[in-house]
Structure 1
Amino acid sequence: MEQRPLGLSGFEVSRLGLGTMTWGVGSDFDVDDAAAQLTTFTEAGGTLVDTADIYGQGAAETVLGELLDKVVPRSEVHLSTKSGVVAREPRHRNTSRGHLLRALDASLQRLGTDHVDLWQLHVHDPDTPMEETLATLDHAVASGRARYVGLSNHTGWQTGRAVAWQRAWPGRVPITANQVEYSLVQRGIEREVLPACLAMDVGVLAWSPLGRGVLTGKYRYGRPSDSRASSPQWGRFVSSYLDDRCAGIVEAVATAADGLGVTPLEVALSWVRDQPGVTSAVVGARNAAQLRGALAAEAVFLPPEIRLALADVSAPELGYPENH
Structure 2
Amino acid sequence: MEYTQLGRTGLKVGRLVLGTMNFGPQTDEAESHRIMDAALDAGINLFDTANAYGWGANKGRTEEIIGSWFAKGGDRRDKVVLATKVYANMTLDDSEPWPNHDKLSALNIRRSVEASLRRLGTDHIDVYQFHHVDRDTPWDEIWQAVDVLVQQGKILYAGSSNFAGWHIAAANEAARRRGTTLGLVSEQCLYNLAERRAEMEVLPAARAYGLGVVPWSPLHGGLLGGVLRKEREGGAARSGSGRAAEALQDPALRARVQSYEDLLEKHGLAPGETALAWLLTRPGVTGPIVGPRTVEQLSSALRALEVTLDDGLLAELDAIFPGPGESPEAFAW
Verify: 1:170 aligned to 2:179, yes or no.
yes
Contact kept? 2:220, 2:243, Cα under 8 Å = no
Amino acid at match of 2:217: S
Alpha-carbon contact 1:118-1:148 (below 8 Å) kept: yes
Q: Which residue of 1 aligns with 2:299?
A: 292
Instruction: Give the 3-state SS of the residue equivalent to 2:287 in structure 1.
Output: strand
CA distance in 2, matches of 1:114, 1:259: 51
Shift of 1:169: 3.8
Distance apart, 1:201 and its partner CA: 1.5
Distance 1:142 1:227, change over 3 A: farther
Contact in 1 for aligned 2:201/2:327 (Cα 8 Å): no
Cα distance, 1:306 vs structure 2: 1.1
Q: Which amino acid is 2:133 matched to?
A: H
Determine if contact 1:180/1:206 at 8 Å carries over to the other structure: yes
In the aligned structure 2, how far is the partner of 1:316 from the partner of 1:93?
35
Aligned partner of residue 302 in structure 1, secondary structure? coil
Task: Tell me if structure 1 keeps the 8 A contact 2:85–2:131.
Answer: yes
Percent of aligned pairs sharing the same letter: 35
State yes or no: 1:188 paired with 2:197: yes
Q: Is contact 1:93-1:124 (8 Å) kept?
A: no
Spell out the pairing of 1:107-126 with structure 2 (5 A cutoff): 107-126=116-135
Q: CA RMSD in A?
A: 2.2
Structure 1 residues 169 and 287, CA, compared in 2 at 3 Å: closer, same or farther? same
AA matched with 1:135: Q
1:271 maps to 278
Partner of 2:15: 15
Q: In 1, are the aligned partners of 2:171 and 2:183 still within 8 Å (CA)?
A: no
Q: Which residue is 1:144 aligned to?
A: 153
Q: Partner amino acid for 1:11?
A: L
Secondary structure at the aligned position of 1:4 is classed as strand
- SS for the counterpart of 1:22 is coil
Matches within 5 A, 1:1-324: 1-26=1-26, 29-56=27-54, 57-70=59-72, 73-86=76-89, 88=94, 89=97, 94-220=103-229, 222=231, 226-230=236-240, 235-242=241-248, 243-317=250-324, 321-323=328-330, 324=333
- Distance in 2 separating the partners of 1:262 and 1:312: 18
Q: Which amino acid aligns with 1:273?
A: L
**TM superposition shift of 1:145:** 0.9
Distance 1:319 1:142, change over 3 A: closer
Counterpart Cα distance in 2 of 1:53 and 1:317: 33
TM-score relative to the length of structure 1: 0.91
CA deviations 1:224-256 (Å, max 9, x no partner) are: 6744443xxxx2344333233432343343234
Q: Distance in 2 between matches of 1:256 and 1:228?
A: 21
Distance 1:108 1:275 in 2: 34
SS at match of 2:227: coil
Q: When the two structures are aligned, how many residues end up with a matched partner?
A: 318
SS of residue paired to 1:206:
strand
State the secondary structure of the residue aligned to 1:150.
strand
Determine helix, strand or coil for the equivalent of 1:212: coil
Q: What is the CA–CA distance in structure 1 between the aligned matches of 2:253 and 2:34, rounded to whole Å?
A: 32
Separation in 2, partners of 1:218, 1:71: 39
Q: Which runs of 5+ in 1 are unaligned?
A: none
